[in-house]
Amino acid sequence: MFVTTQPDTSRTLSEKNADIVRATLPVIGAHINEITPIFYDKMFTAHPELISDLFNRGNQAAGEQPKALAASIATFATMLVDPDAPDPVEMLGRIGHKHVSLGVTRDQYQIVHDNLFAAIVDVLGDAITPEVAGAWDEVYWLMADVLIDFEEDLYASDGVEPGEVFREVTVTEKYDLPGDVTVYTLSGDLSVPRPGQYTSVGVKLDDGARQLRQYSIIGGDATELTIAVRREGEVSGFLRDRVDMGDTVQATLPAGDLVLDDADNPVVLVSSGIGSTPMTGMLHHLATTGSSRPVTVLHADIDEEHFAQREQMAGYVAEIPGATMEIRYRTNDERIDIAEYLPAGATVYLCGGNGFLQALRDQIAALPADRAPKAVHFELFSPNDWLIS
């Protein structure tokens, strides 16, 4: 599922409600991290199937998902009332892709609305007058409608109805890589992934919950997707221990906005740890299509033993004329200095953990204007509650 358009953030608040939101944003913002846990507790109590079958229980337990929701709402509201605030279109695009990879539909936004506003009243009490509630109601539905419209476009791009993205797939290949990583090939009625996209894999755990996790696609077509899974968390552990060749699991049609573009300018792929998986998918595409695009690959890992996809990535690099690959290992106290390898006019793709991506973003921001990349795209393997501008 992929469209070249971005979410439409041109909608505006009514003037009266804009004044109210501007005045109450500091109060709402100051309490948003108190509001969101109460919201989730209310929602999961009323709809236990959501925590069982849709939301990632690990992210909920760690508090990451509530923080991500809080950041997205506060950021969107700020854009509506501050003309100098950045447009959160990239944030909304990432959220939209995550939603379609989980089969989220329009009716679920009403569930979120009802429980979120009940939580706001619980925390702020009499401060939430009918006027304040009405203003923030407009904020919520403006953001929801932006996402719903974008998500319906994504569903339509693959010719499916909203939410109809899950497929029964069969594991036709399974083998281990270094670094506690296992590769799976999933076969079924799927769709062709764009290089860099992911699929959500769902398994039925022993307590009856259907849990989902996104995995970047190394390569695939309309009938096969290949993913690399590092053993961490409920779903990955279940796949490793309980799912073998010939078994069936659920997988969604590919989604994700970290997609290799079709330009011919230099491309720089930067990853850390298992963040190498979408980069491997991009390298697979560049190698198999005979691309002559200048390619630089930078990867950081603990040590050589933990770099799961080293041989695969190096093999693809060798097939691309002029491509280069640099590796840095933390046990050797080595770090990536992107300025050393960034050609003029490059498009940069980043994938890794929060700290790694923040460090690379800081390096890029510090570059002089004449050395700045043409564009920077990123993906991180956790709810993106901080890297949202």
Query: pLDDT tens, 216-244?
Result: 999 999 999 999 998 888 899 999 999 99
Identify the pLDDT of residue 2: 96
The answer to whether 326 is a known catalytic residue is no
71 pLDDT higher than 90: no
Identify the pLDDT of residue 64: 62
60 pLDDT higher than 90: no
149 pLDDT higher than 70: yes
pLDDT tens sequence across 91-140: 899 999 999 999 999 999 999 999 999 999 999 998 899 999 999 999 99
pLDDT tens sequence across 269-283: 999 998 999 999 999
Please identify which of the residues 90, 138, 140, 151 carries the catalytic annotation: 151
Identify the pLDDT of residue 386: 39
Residues 6+ apart with CB under 8 A from 75: 85, 88, 91, 388, 389
Give the residue extent of every domain in the chain. 15-157, 166-252, 267-380
62 pLDDT higher than 80: no
Closest C-alpha to 214, from 205, 227, 223: 227
Identify the pLDDT of residue 178: 86
pLDDT band at 385 (very low <50, low <70, confident <90, very high): very low
Identify the pLDDT of residue 208: 87
Mean pLDDT of the chain: 90
CATH number of this structure's domain 15-157: 1.10.490.10
Q: What fold, for 166-252?
A: Elongation Factor Tu (Ef-tu); domain 3 (2.40.30)
Average pLDDT, integer, range 322-345: 92
Identify the pLDDT of residue 173: 97
Which residue has better confidence, 326 or 63? 326
Identify the pLDDT of residue 381: 60
The answer to whether 109 is a known catalytic residue is yes
CATH number for the 267-380 domain, one of 3.40.50.2300, 3.40.50.80, 3.40.50.10480, 1.10.3470.10? 3.40.50.80
Identify the pLDDT of residue 66: 65
Please identify which of the residues 40, 90, 109, 198 carries the catalytic annotation: 109
197 pLDDT higher than 70: yes
Average pLDDT, integer, range 348-362: 90
